[in-house]
Amino acid sequence: MIHKEGYPTMNLTILFGSLLVVIAEYFSNNHYVHTLAYALSALLLVIVLQFFRNPARKTVANDNHIIAPADGKVVVIEEVEDSEYFKDRRLQISIFMSPINVHVNRFPISGLVKYVKYHAGLYLVAWHPKSSTENERTTIVVEHKSGKSVLFRQIAGALARRIVYYCKEGNKAVQGAEFGFIKFGSRVDILLPIGTKVNVALNQKVRGGETVMASFD
């Protein structure tokens, strides 16, 4: 299944590939040039299709679990000072999403969307320490029914140039449901209350909507 965000890019890729083949056929009689044009067009389409794939995920709903909001590798587990929303110290877990990962973003918990804010910014590499505060990003906060809140950020990387989010303040968040998409390599940070039990380790690969990253109990 292809994500809806991929259709414009897919159509442009098909158009470009078709033009490439037409040009090769028109300007060259060389069989190898024709073959190369067809192969390059097919390769570009395969790359786009794999990037925008949207596989079904089965989320086992649990009010005590914080589910991974994205596919990728855990690159940060540390306490940080949040200056945007909580104004206190939080436990941060960061997931690096490479271009080959699924780039659909999912709600880590169920609850009420209390805060949504888009920040224009830089395009530092996603693993850069300052990418969380200086890159283009979107911050979303969901309040759990227990009263605890979880903040998560979609962060653009050196290649990512478009962050998409679908939720608004006041919306109901459903654990595992899609809330956004980031194009190309990027990162997602999640900020949890200090003392939250962490269930993942550095460099561990996680699956959005399925991996239990942490738990409140």
Q: What is the pLDDT of residues 88-127, one digit of tens each?
A: 999 999 999 888 888 899 999 999 999 999 988 665 655 5
Residues 6+ apart with CB under 8 A from 37: 20, 21, 23, 24, 25
User: Which of these is catalytic: 94, 110, 132, 186?
Assistant: 186
Do you know the residue count of the chain? Answer: 217
Only one residue has tokens 């962050």, namely 163
pLDDT for 187 = 87
Per-residue model confidence (pLDDT) at position 45: 87
Measured CA to CA, the distance from residue 146 to residue 162 in angstroms comes to: 33
End-to-end Cα, the chain, rounded Å: 36
Q: State which residues of the chain have pLDDT below 50.
A: none
Residue whose structure tokens are 């169920």: 110
- Residue 53 DSSP label: B
CA separation for the pair 159, 130 (Å, rounded): 16
Outline where DSSP puts E strands in 107-174: 111-119, 137-143, 149-156, 163-165, 172-173
Q: Check residue 9 and give its pLDDT.
A: 82
- Phi, psi (rounded to 5 degrees) for 50: -70, -35
Give CA–CA dist 7/19, Å, rounded. 18
149 noted as active-site residue: no
Cβ atoms of residues 108 and 69 within 8 Å: yes
What CA–CA distance (Å, rounded) separates 86 from 188? 18
Strand order of the sheet with strand 212-215? Answer: 65-67, 212-215, 197-198
pLDDT of residue 24: 87
* Range list of H helices, 78-197: 131-134
The predicted pLDDT at position 130 comes to: 59
Return the pLDDT at 67.
Answer: 97
- For the record, the structure tokens of 189 come out as 């940070």
For residue 187, give the nearest of 115, 132, 130 by alpha carbon: 132
